[in-house]
Structure 1
Amino acid sequence: MSMTQADIERKKSWRQAIAVYGHPIMLAMLILGFASGLPLMMVFSKLSYWLRDVGIDRSTIGFFYWITLSYTLKPIWAPMVDRMPIPFLTAAMGKRRSWMMVAILGTMIGLFIIAFSDPSQGLWLTLAGAFILSYSGATLDISIDAWRIESGPREEQANMAAAYVLGYRGAIFFSGFGLALSSWTNWTVSFCVMSLTMGICGLMVLAMREPKHSVRLQTAGGLGHRIAEAIIEPFKQFGTRLGAWIVPVFLLVAFYRLSDFTMGVMASPLYSDIGFDRAIVGGIQSGPGLIATIAGGFLGGLIAYKFGVLRAMFVGAFLTLATNGAYAWLAALNSPDTVGLLAVVISSDNLAAGFVGTAFIAYLSSLTDPINAATQYALLSSLYALINKFIAGFSGVMADALGYVNFFIVTAGYALPAAALVLFIMIKGSPAAKGLVRYDGKTDEAAG
């Protein structure tokens, strides 16, 4: 008789859940998370700082943000990363690591081009470097996601996501060092050091194992047929496997993180309007806030491993409701003397974000087929990023119309329909919708 969900959960002790983090693959995920986060932070945050330093107007800097759309558009070339071998490199290193190395080389080139450009004299060279950096970083994300999905069993994906989040946060912290380095020396040195750091990450990739790939059946037909199959098959597969459940699943993917996206845009303006000192806010974000994010990520991984990914997502929705709603309390007090409350609010929100992010990554991973891992994961991650970023763009309009207090109450409330969708899939959903079906046609565990 097959084991039920409850049987499996009882057999997973807390010691087993914690011991998962001792596996060597977690160190690899830590490194890959760092390599994934550094390019985005340099093109999105630190480059903007440099442009403003040399007197570039805010509107132009805002248009530079469009460069990061590469991270949303990556499903367009993800099928190529999934299927196209790189001459010589793929044979020597394997499909996933070869693409990682090419992408890392691209980020190094982009960073070097930016380093030796002079935006005060003209933006074209800086723009070219930012373009190469951004699209190489997005390609690196595609290959890393595929490597992660293929390298670990489904029940460990949440733990691997937690290690990835920790590495990503490390990149955010390290990019802050790059900002300080630019002050001690200059921007050229700062971007060159970041480029060399990516090179070190590349050397570490060489020490990682290439995962075992699922066998792809060869089909007859010419080049055009094979290209069409590479693009259409991964997307068609979702419909075949999920059936009618594709609607609630895609709705959950699209809107589960909406509360975080919309609230986050107005958090910094709130701090400024209340009158908190920037040094205090920065200290909380990089100190207790960072620790809370890391703790939340690992807690999310533990809960998902012990009780299942959907249960962790359900808990995460209510954590989001409570912690994002706390911003309404902060706004209602509207006093720069509430520094203690500010620290609690930021830290709690970061803990919830780390928890939710880890569980959500694990759920997205459970929906993908290892054969099409790069393409399908890129589609899912871009689906929620595109929709949430678009809606978040109206956050300022909402805050002006409703006021801060009501704005944060409304955005916290977005977590409720997300929780309802999770509960609906958890109770009524097919095994595929729950992310329980392996792509050998079997289920990891009985639905329940």
Structure 2
Amino acid sequence: MATIDPAFASDATLSTALPGNRRRMLLFGLLGFSAGLPFYMFSVVLALRLQAHGTALAVIGFFAWVQLLPTFKFLWAPLLDRFDVPGFARFWGKRRGWILLSQLGIFTAMVAMAVTAADNDLALTALFAILLAFWTTTLEIAADAWRIELAPTQDQQGPIVAANLWGYRSAMVAAGSGALLIADSAGWMAAYLVIAAIAFLAFPLLVATAPDARNTAGRTSALFTGLAASAAILVVMLVAVAAIGWLVLAAAAGIGFDADANVTPWVLGIAMLPFLAMALALPRIRRATPQSRLRSSAAIGPYVDFFWRYGFGAIVLMAFVSLYRMGDVLALNLSKPMIRDLGYSLSAIGRADSFVALGASMAGVGIGGFLVMRWPLPHTLALGAIFAAIGNFGFVWLAAQPIDETLLYIATGADQFGNGMAGAIFVVYLSMLVNPRFPGAQYAFLSGWAFMLPRLLSGAGGAIVIGIGYDKFFLLSGVLSLAALLFLPALARLHPRAPDSPE
């Protein structure tokens, strides 16, 4: 009879308390909502806030590098598999313990962003944006690991991923349109405070839910212990991020890095380094035995396992996932400043980002989740990439039209439909690449890598737009998304190596 690891006992007990996909879908819809709310606040909404305060376009582009933090989540994802949050884990389990801590971090960081909403000190704005990104990413790591543990097969993943993305995209719409409408009438501080309050609602809901309805003893003690431990962890993270940020800013100033610097060649060079490192390391990884330090290490073993299983095919996989969401990421930070420059008001953008974006996104996610349950993944990946590119081309079309809110709705709807469809398909695809032995670490690595190159280029997006204009920028981003289609024939022939089989 199988036994349950005590560290995951509460999480496993919860899974038995969720007898069908419907309750799991509700759970992961809530978790998606919790992660989607803060994401827009340190990306799209922050870009518009900085633009409103007269920040240079190149500097707004640099702030997109805050979104690079999630691409490096593999650096701390193994900690979430290995360690518990004191107090919270004892009663609610490992996965939910980290989720509860993350929600506290999201709330405090967003309140801090509200207090500094005047953006008088951009270094301080960046500090709290980074903390918000860190805790949002930590929540996603814990939720993704839990999802993969509860639903290990492709047909099980489809509906749960769709529910998670429905929640995520609903929250992005609520944060995007709601924050802009509030900011237009009551200011940026009010916008951030309202979204912070909404983001915190999931915390008491999860606290009130016992993993085992028959045994609620110890909840209060576990809650207060968890809150005390969380406060200490939040302070340590604040000090650590502030210290690292000060060093980075000092180094940037020392080399003359500023808004006038041409960063694009440096970004492209840095993006190529990981591929070179992978190519050099693969021969040794492929020869590694199960007892080797490379494969048995708790820190790097989960990542080595991925390259050991796929060999040089891993480089093809990594190149593909880097390109697949390229258009969506490049459009994220600069589409709204472009629309604002065209002459649309914050309220008009907010209205477009409300029911239009929500309906289109939900439709895209639903169709993507449906198709991935019935079609081969290469076919659905191709369709998702095509619709995502069409969404980017829609901004090129919008820039050539007279100001008309109906046209804004069409462009926004096309972007969100393609984004939603490609996102749902892509999440299932990445989940199927993961070894079930290392769900949290490997999914964090793959999903983080998928957005590393796009977010690197996104940070240079402001400088690129200054050079080529908005229309050519979005044309380029759509073409880059379509370039992922060239990899699909090779991916269809890629299969992982059997465990410890000979070459």
Does 2:419 align with 1:418? Answer: no
On the 8 A contact 1:79/1:374 being kept in 2, the answer is yes
On the 8 A contact 2:326/2:480 being kept in 1, the answer is yes
User: Which residue of the other structure, out of 356, 362, 367, is the alignment partner of 2:433?
Assistant: 367
Does 2:206 align with 1:205? Answer: yes
Change in CA separation of 1:272 and 1:190 when aligned onto 2, cut-off 3 Å: closer
Amino acid at match of 2:298: A
1:145-201 C-alpha deviation (Å, 9 max, x unpaired): 111111223223233222222212222233243454566667666544444433321
Report % sequence identity.
Answer: 28
SS at 1:307 equivalent: coil
User: Which residue of the other structure, out of 255, 266, 288, is the alignment partner of 2:356?
Assistant: 288
On the 8 A contact 2:181/2:347 being kept in 1, the answer is no
Amino acid at match of 1:320: A
Amino acid at match of 1:201: A
Does 2:101 align with 1:102? Answer: yes
Does 2:37 align with 1:38? Answer: yes
Q: CA offset at residue 329 of structure 1?
A: 4.4
Q: CA offset at residue 87 of structure 1?
A: 2.9
Structure 1: how far apart are the matches of 2:417 and 2:98?
A: 33
- Taking the TM superposition and a 5 Å limit, the aligned residue runs for 1:328-407 are 328-331=396-399, 334-336=400-402, 340-395=406-461, 407=473
Structure 1: how far apart are the matches of 2:60 and 2:421?
A: 32
Change in CA separation of 1:292 and 1:85 when aligned onto 2, cut-off 3 Å: same
Structure 2: how far apart are the matches of 1:354 and 1:401?
A: 30
Q: CA offset at residue 327 of structure 1?
A: 4.3
1:218-258 C-alpha deviation (Å, 9 max, x unpaired): x999xxx8998221101110012112321221111111112
SS at 2:170 equivalent: helix
Change in CA separation of 1:60 and 1:349 when aligned onto 2, cut-off 3 Å: closer
Amino acid at match of 1:375: A
Amino acid at match of 1:412: G
Counterpart of 2:159 in structure 1 is 159
SS at 2:133 equivalent: helix
SS at 1:231 equivalent: coil
Does 2:145 align with 1:146? Answer: yes
On the 8 A contact 2:64/2:333 being kept in 1, the answer is no
Structure 1: how far apart are the matches of 2:194 and 2:391?
A: 37
Q: CA offset at residue 289 of structure 1?
A: 2.8
Runs of at least 5 residues in structure 1 that lack an aligned partner in the other structure: 1-19, 211-218, 442-448
Q: CA offset at residue 391 of structure 1?
A: 2.6
On the 8 A contact 2:65/2:455 being kept in 1, the answer is no
Change in CA separation of 1:220 and 1:396 when aligned onto 2, cut-off 3 Å: closer
Amino acid at match of 1:157: Q
Counterpart of 1:302 in structure 2 is 370
SS at 2:71 equivalent: helix
Q: Which is further off, 84-93 or 380-389?
A: 84-93
Q: CA offset at residue 43 of structure 1?
A: 3.4
Structure 2: how far apart are the matches of 1:110 and 1:189?
A: 15
Change in CA separation of 1:306 and 1:93 when aligned onto 2, cut-off 3 Å: same
On the 8 A contact 2:306/2:435 being kept in 1, the answer is no
Change in CA separation of 1:266 and 1:152 when aligned onto 2, cut-off 3 Å: same
On the 8 A contact 2:396/2:474 being kept in 1, the answer is yes
Does 2:304 align with 1:247? Answer: no
Change in CA separation of 1:124 and 1:429 when aligned onto 2, cut-off 3 Å: closer
- Taking the TM superposition and a 5 Å limit, the aligned residue runs for 1:125-144 are 129-144=128-143
Structure 2: how far apart are the matches of 1:126 and 1:149?
A: 35
Change in CA separation of 1:289 and 1:39 when aligned onto 2, cut-off 3 Å: closer
Structure 1: how far apart are the matches of 2:110 and 2:95?
A: 23
- Taking the TM superposition and a 5 Å limit, the aligned residue runs for 1:112-127 are 112-115=111-114
Structure 1: how far apart are the matches of 2:463 and 2:188?
A: 35
Structure 1: how far apart are the matches of 2:329 and 2:444?
A: 19
Structure 2: how far apart are the matches of 1:345 and 1:386?
A: 26
Change in CA separation of 1:24 and 1:269 when aligned onto 2, cut-off 3 Å: same
Structure 2: how far apart are the matches of 1:286 and 1:92?
A: 38
TM-score normalised by length of structure 2:
0.68
Amino acid at match of 2:452: L
SS at 1:377 equivalent: helix
Q: CA offset at residue 340 of structure 1?
A: 5.0
Runs of at least 5 residues in structure 2 that lack an aligned partner in the other structure: 1-18, 213-289
Change in CA separation of 1:293 and 1:90 when aligned onto 2, cut-off 3 Å: same
Amino acid at match of 2:402: P
TM-score normalised by length of structure 1:
0.75
Counterpart of 2:178 in structure 1 is 177
Amino acid at match of 1:92: F
Q: CA offset at residue 366 of structure 1?
A: 1.2
Q: CA offset at residue 295 of structure 1?
A: 0.4
Counterpart of 1:259 in structure 2 is 327
On the 8 A contact 1:82/1:373 being kept in 2, the answer is no
On the 8 A contact 2:385/2:481 being kept in 1, the answer is yes
Q: CA offset at residue 330 of structure 1?
A: 4.5
Amino acid at match of 1:149: I
Q: CA offset at residue 33 of structure 1?
A: 0.7
On the 8 A contact 2:364/2:417 being kept in 1, the answer is yes
Q: CA offset at residue 378 of structure 1?
A: 1.6
Q: CA offset at residue 129 of structure 1?
A: 4.5
Structure 2: how far apart are the matches of 1:83 and 1:22?
A: 28
Structure 2: how far apart are the matches of 1:274 and 1:51?
A: 17
Amino acid at match of 1:429: L
Q: CA offset at residue 296 of structure 1?
A: 0.2
Amino acid at match of 1:202: F
Q: CA offset at residue 349 of structure 1?
A: 2.5
Change in CA separation of 1:354 and 1:64 when aligned onto 2, cut-off 3 Å: closer
Change in CA separation of 1:279 and 1:199 when aligned onto 2, cut-off 3 Å: closer
Amino acid at match of 1:110: A
Counterpart of 2:236 in structure 1 is none
